[in-house]
Amino acid sequence: MTLPVRTFHRIGWRCLLLAFAACRGFAQSATDGVDFFERRIRPVLVEHCQSCHGADKQKGGLRLDSAAAIRAGGENGVVIVPGHPESSRLLLAVGRTDADLKMPPKKALGERLVADLAEWVKRGAAMPADAPVVAGAAAGAEFTVSEKDRAHWSFQPILRPVPPVRSGTHSSPANPIDAFVLARLDAKGLEPNPPATKRELLRRATYDLTGLPPSPAEAAAFLADDSPLAWERVVDRLLASPRYGEKWGRHWLDLVRFAESNSYEQDAAKPHAWRFRDYVIRAFNADKPYDRFVREQLAGDELPDADDDAVIATGFHRVGIWDGDPADKELARYDNLDDLVATIGQVFLGLTVDCARCHNHKIDPIPQRDYYRLLAFVHNTTPYENAGAAVEVPLPSNPAEKALAITEPPGAPAITRVLLRGNPTTPGERVEPGFPKILGGETPTIPPIPAGAKSSGRRTLLADWIVSKANPLPARVLANRIWQYHFGRGLVRSPNNLGLQGDAPTHPELLDWLAAELVAQGWRMKPIHRLILLSDAYRRSSHANAGALARDPANDSFWRFDMRRLSAEEIRDTILSVSGTLNPRMSGPGIFVEIPKEVLAGQSVPGNGWGSSPPAEQSRRSIYIHAKRSLLTPILESFDVAETDRSTAVRFVTVQPTQALGMLNGKFLNQQAALFAARLRRESPDDPRAQVRGALRLVASREPTSAEIERGLRLVGSLQTEDHASPELALERFCLMALNMNEMVFLD
């Protein structure tokens, strides 16, 4: 039975101690601590406590039969705080001053024994150093995986289902994706929406694949192309664009918690972190096979053909948070390893493995031992530091050039033990690298480390297993993510959790078909993109349908394409594109955009670690802005940029006042409005109608109506006649209004 935590009132606790002192006089004050434990404390625990808190039974998850178990505590945390009896739950229980916490439950210990326990804790709770480590239930020794666990959909082998054939007079679609989607619609009695317009479709796909609006020339060319292959040509052009890697690389950076600083108060910069960002962009543009992509990030330095990219890719291990001045260095080390295990589990496997750090997973069939078996694969990596040879690794092709990368110390790999309650001070049984029980549970054969080797080879074993045919999770996870980033939500709405508590797939057969197709295509993503964008499901209108909304308001059946708001980066990049100032230069160290002094003042040292790039550099795409965890670019933060402290599988989409305030009054928007107006004057000098038309066409990616142009002209005119604005200022204000149109930030 787990009992609630209560604290002593300071006066009551002091009185209790005085009473104990009167009875015992603290006569043992000169006795050695360990000897005191053996003579006075262990007998009490054996006689009065271990029947409920020993090897056979652990009420509340608490064992009191070894030093390690005592320090570990139970389900409600530690029970001993050395030096502080007033803060120790064990003393609270045996003192019996709390009506809800009285131990032993049937008979009080008596004042003498309670006084001994209080004195022992006050002295520091010394125990023998050679006390046995504890295995038992806390380490998951008795954990069993049931047949019900094994039957969960995501743990099943991937069998390529046959696309369904439509019954009746309906013809079956050529695209397998549509066959699965239409089968669900037919079963629900729903009619799909008609196709989107060519303008809607071009804007949708251009943002989807590049994160930027289509240019007027691109729009005009597509609208004029009546060929049946016109849409395929658009898709192929967008997939071949270098902007594709910038857009889809951003998705991956969200997942792997990428930033270029450490977080915490100091938030120091990570050296060469930008190379990892550029590696990801290159990998997506090259359509690097996902199995290679995984191997490079987990163990690129161990690959036999390791090139610059393979070494840079291991920055995956380094781009998370790091406390440069921890109160407990050992605990901080395991917190960093936990961050890595959590990211590997969620990103590659779609499982919340990190929930098993302190105890067996409460939902999924993952015992605590499995968590530490996975941790053992990466345990031998060197801890992160701000700089130095352990983190700054020379590139194979040119010894700068250096990369933020992973290394391992020489010698035998670090020993991994199950930590009771996840606490490094209470090590339990030793474990070797191994895979989760629910996915086979094999313990791989670990070859001896060759003489002169720079790493143990363990991370390669982990990476090989993750993308092996025997593991059904990664292909499902990736196929679901690709669908999610195209349609706004995955076939599984919880993309980082395909476990028992995650959402069930709305189209399980379609998910498995996509996963099988992904592997059949050599783990390349672009063929899957192409297949999705050529489907009718992707090309449907987003407009409402009263009947379908009533029957399927969440659009689980994909009867329409969901409208979405642009992401934070898409909004900023669109503003730059429309104003004509977007700098297309790729790669290189992060840029520093102008941040208001009021925002900088929020730092512990205002402006610390934030530089100032030239104007042309500040106009580069948002993915190249220096990612400092404690200092986010205001427009990106307002529009829900990804959190960088942990894996972000789905971004929030909010509507809140600071968005409108920043878009109307912010310095960046007003500067861009002025530059936008200057562009219009250059392109259409002395022609207000052409300027208004050009502004609306650029913002909305469509030809404005005559009524819209007339309304814009009236606004420009009234600003001059009623507010006495100059023609230049009036056009700037019109441009600011245009940049705030809903049509600019929402995508049909």
Read off the pLDDT of residues 549-567 as tens digits, 9 standing for 90 and up.
999 999 999 999 999 999 9
461 shares a domain with 318? yes
Residue of 521, 529, 530, 482 whose CA lies nearest to 232: 530
157 shares a domain with 187? yes
The verdict on residue 254 lying in a domain is no
The verdict on residue 576 lying in a domain is no
Tokens describing residue 661: 């305030």
421 shares a domain with 299? yes
Burial class (CB in 10 A: 0-12, 13-18, 19+), 107: exposed
Which ranges of the chain have pLDDT less than 50? 1-31, 131-141
Q: Please check whether residue 72 is in contact with residue 426, taking contact to mean a CB–CB distance below 8 angstroms.
A: yes
CA 145 to chain centre: 28
The verdict on residue 573 lying in a domain is no
Rg from Cα positions in the chain: 31
Q: What is the per-residue pLDDT for 131?
A: 47
- Choose one of 425, 444, 466: the last residue of a domain: 466
Q: What is the per-residue pLDDT for 14?
A: 37
Report the C-alpha gap between 20 and 119 in whole angstroms. Answer: 9
122 shares a domain with 237? no
Q: Taking phi first (over 0 means left), then psi (-120 to 50 degrees means alpha), and beta for anything else, what does residue 24 get?
A: alpha
- Choose one of 566, 601, 623: the last residue of a domain: 566
Report the C-alpha gap between 375 and 337 in whole angstroms. Answer: 7
181 shares a domain with 154? yes
The verdict on residue 649 lying in a domain is no
3-state SS assignment for residue 269: strand
For residue 307, give its domain range.
Answer: 289-466
| Token pair 């934030």 in the structure block, residue | 610
Distances (CA, A) of 189 to 179, 551, 557: 15, 9, 10
Report the C-alpha gap between 715 and 722 in whole angstroms. Answer: 10
Report the C-alpha gap between 136 and 133 in whole angstroms. Answer: 10
DSSP 346: I
Q: Please check whether residue 353 is in contact with residue 369, taking contact to mean a CB–CB distance below 8 angstroms.
A: no
522 shares a domain with 401? no
Q: What is the per-residue pLDDT for 10?
A: 34
431 shares a domain with 349? yes
Report the C-alpha gap between 695 and 741 in whole angstroms. Answer: 11
CB neighbours of residue 677 within 10 Å: 24
The verdict on residue 591 lying in a domain is no
Report the C-alpha gap between 366 and 289 in whole angstroms. Answer: 29
The verdict on residue 647 lying in a domain is no
The verdict on residue 533 lying in a domain is yes
295 shares a domain with 341? yes
Secondary structure string (H, E, C) spanning 633-695: CHHHHHCCCCCCCCCCCCCCCCCCHHHHHHHHHCHHHHHHHHHHHHHHHHHCCCCHHHHHHHH
Phi and psi torsions of 432, nearest 5°: -110, 160
Q: What is the per-residue pLDDT for 129?
A: 66
398 shares a domain with 355? yes
Q: What is the per-residue pLDDT for 27?
A: 37
Q: What is the per-residue pLDDT for 7?
A: 33
Q: What is the per-residue pLDDT for 142?
A: 64
3-state SS assignment for residue 70: helix
The verdict on residue 93 lying in a domain is yes
Phi and psi torsions of 229, nearest 5°: -100, 5
Report the C-alpha gap between 90 and 107 in whole angstroms. Answer: 15
477 shares a domain with 455? no
For the chain, what is the domain count?
Answer: 5
Task: Give DSSP secondary structure letters for 598-645.
Answer: HHHTTSSSTTTT-----HHHHTB-GGGB--BTTB--HHHHHTTPPPSS
455 shares a domain with 336? yes
Report the C-alpha gap between 95 and 83 in whole angstroms. Answer: 17
What is the rounded (10 degree) CA torsion for 329, 330, 334, 339? 0
447 shares a domain with 305? yes
Q: Which H/E stretch holds residue 746?
A: strand 746-747
- Choose one of 441, 466, 491: the last residue of a domain: 466
Residue of 650, 655, 605, 668 whose CA lies nearest to 631: 605
Report the C-alpha gap between 250 and 54 in whole angstroms. Answer: 51
Report the C-alpha gap between 242 and 210 in whole angstroms. Answer: 8
